[in-house]
Each structure stands twice: as C-alpha cells, then as structure tokens.
A and B are shown apart, each in its own frame.
Chain A
Amino acid sequence: MGEVPLLKELFERYKDQGVVVVGISLDEDVKLVQEMVASKGITWPQVSDADETVRKLYNVKGTPSYYLLDRDGKIVAKDLPSFKRLNAAIDELLKKP
C-alpha cells in the first residue's frame, strides 16, 4: 500500500503516452477496497477479484505483484514484486521506438 503515491506519480507522468493502470484487489471485502481507493484518491479502475479468477489466470502468488503489457497486449514483464522494478520496466519499454 505504501507504493500508491509512487504509482500515482508514475501514472500522471506517463498517462499522455498511453499508460493505464488497472488495480486488481484480492480482498474478499469489496467495501474495504472501496474505502481504501477513496482514502488514497486512486483514480484508475479497480476490480475486486475476491473469487480469484484473474489471480489464477495470471498465477499471481503474492501481493503486490505487477504485470506490464505492451500496446499489443503482450506480456512485457511479469510478477514484478515492487514499484521500483515496474518503473524500470516501463522506462525501458517507453525507450523503444
């Protein structure tokens, strides 16, 4: 959760270049998620994955975990355990022509 401000900053920096964020919460209680999203001022879309369908689809083993997909919907980086690693992967991707 401590990474939200960093992710928000990254989102603001790169949204004009077509970077979007989708939050997938593994909480069972949707209310908790809604409260957290409101209190942190998160603007990107959130889905509640309480039944773990998306988690299983991506075989996510722990949180937080980031996947990065390119403009063709292909996996660029997976199972990134920290914002730092995600940031590096995005920078790398945007450098490519």
Chain B
Amino acid sequence: MRLKSFTRRLGRPGSLLGLVLFLVLPAIAQNKPPKRDDREMDRVQAMITQAKKEAEEFSKSGGKTDDAKHPNLKWAATFWRYRLKHPGTPATVVATTQALTLLNRSNLISDLQTKADTLRLDDPAWEQVINVLLFASIKTKDYSYLLSKAEALTQSAIDQKIKARARFTVGEAYWKKGDTEQARINFQTVVAQYPNTPYAEEAEGNVREIELLNVGQPAPQFDHTTINGDPLSLAGFKGKIVVLKFWGTY
C-alpha cells in the first residue's frame, strides 16, 4: 500500500516528474553506491596504517615530534588533500579527523585552527573534529577557540548528534579548566536537550561524578557476587583501605 501511494505521488507514468525521476534516481544511485564508500574507507584506513608505521619508525630512530621532517606533517597534508578531492563521503570524515589529529600531534595549533575554520558548521566531520580541538586545548591550556567553535556548533549544526557532542565538549572543557559548576550545567543541558544521543548517558555519568564522586565523599555502596559465587559488599570492608581496580582482559 505504501509503495502504491508513493508511486502515485511521483505522478502518473509518462508525466514529466516521473520521467525526470526515472532518469535522475539511477544516476544518483550510480554516483554514490555504498560499495564505493567501503572502498574509499578501506583506502583511508590503509593510509592511516601506513602513516602510523612511518611515525613509529621515525620516533624509534630518534626523531622528535616538532621535527620539520616528521612524517606526520606529510601525512597531515595527504589526508587534507584527500578531503578536498573527495568531499562528502564517510571516508572524508575519517581523513579530515586524521589530518587535524596529526597537526595537533605536531603542535601546529594555528594551522589546525585555520583548517578547522574552513569546515562549514554542517560538516559531519565536526563530531570528531571538536574532540581534536579539545585535545589541543588541554595541551595548550587555551580553551577560547574551542569554546567559541563549540558554542557556534550548538547553535548552527544541523545534526542533533553534533549539537550534543558540541555541548558535551563545552562541559568537558570547563571541567578540564576546573570550572565544575559550568561543566555540570553543560552536561545537564546535554541530558535535557539531547536525550536520545549517545552523549546523554555519558553526560549523566559526569553530572553524577561532579556531584557525588569527589575526594572526601563517601564511596557509592554496592553489593555483588564474586566470580567464585561469594557475596561481596563494599560495606563489609569498613576499617580497611580499599583499592577498587576496574579492568578488562581485552
């Protein structure tokens, strides 16, 4: 039934609209088949592997991060060229993020910011790029550029996920700066405004941490069963100094 009403909306067979769609739809489909996206993604992933290998070899042979001959610089340029040549695919997002990550690693912060400025606010790469800017800010302890970009994204990005990520990043930036009150407010905003994004749960955890998990506060109680089947209660360790080790075999 749905399909029927859909074709009816397109117009009767032989109508101009029908003809145009008949010609255009396959062309669109051919232009961007998912297979091509996969191929491009593989290509970019191979570039990442190669870049990583060259960087490791360079530092093993005594090369420094700030060295003008560091392979990270060449690869940053290569990934950026890829972005300019192949706009609008999922691989573009990865290449963009990679280019900017490498610039950050080489401490070329103004170059990083100049390139980030060329990204429109609706660019899907922002979801990752904003995090690169956060790393750069933590390193330089200068959050002004990051905060202005993130605020702009929360206003003008189209994708809700990117808006959520930007608001979340504002919270993280304030937290790193030591302004826990601003951090809490921003994380709460993520929870309230973007409840259906992956960032809401993380933001909720951060609000909890800011409110309840400070040094000097009582550790949250829990009762569990050990892998041997014995009951374990944190309250049972009263009078002891307790190390909680969170770990994984992975």
Contact = CB atoms under 8 A, between A and B. Distances in A.
B23 interface: no
A75 B209 contact: no
Interface residues of B, number: 36
B3 interface: no
Contact of B246 (A7, A37, A65, A73): A65
Band of interface residues on A: 35 or more
Chain A interface, >50% SS class:
mixed
Interface in B204-221: 205-206, 208-209, 213-220
A66 B245 contact: yes
Contacts of A60: 246
Interface string A48-61: 11000111111110
Interface stretch (B41-49, B98-106, B148-156, B223-231): B223-231
Contacts of A94: 241
B227 A47 contact: yes
Given A57-B220, A66-B244, A37 B227 contact: yes
B240 interface: yes
Nearest to A55: B246
Contacts of A7: 243, 245
A78 B225 CA distance: 23
Interface string A27-51: 1001011101100000001111100
Interface in B34-68: none
Contacts of A53: 222
A56 B220 CA distance: 10
B201 to A, nearest CB: 9
Contact of A64 (B214, B217, B247): B247
A93 B243 CA distance: 12
Which of B222, B225, B239, B246 has the most C-beta atoms of chain A within 10 angstroms of its own C-beta?
B246
B211 to A, nearest CB: 11
B31 interface: no
A25 B228 CA distance: 13
B232 A45 contact: yes
Contact of A21 (B230, B235, B245): B245
Contact of B242 (A17, A33, A68): A68
Interface of A: 1, 7, 14, 17-27, 30, 32-34, 36-37, 45-49, 53-60, 63-78, 86, 90, 93-94
Interface of B: 205-206, 208-209, 213-220, 222, 224-228, 230, 232, 234-235, 237-250
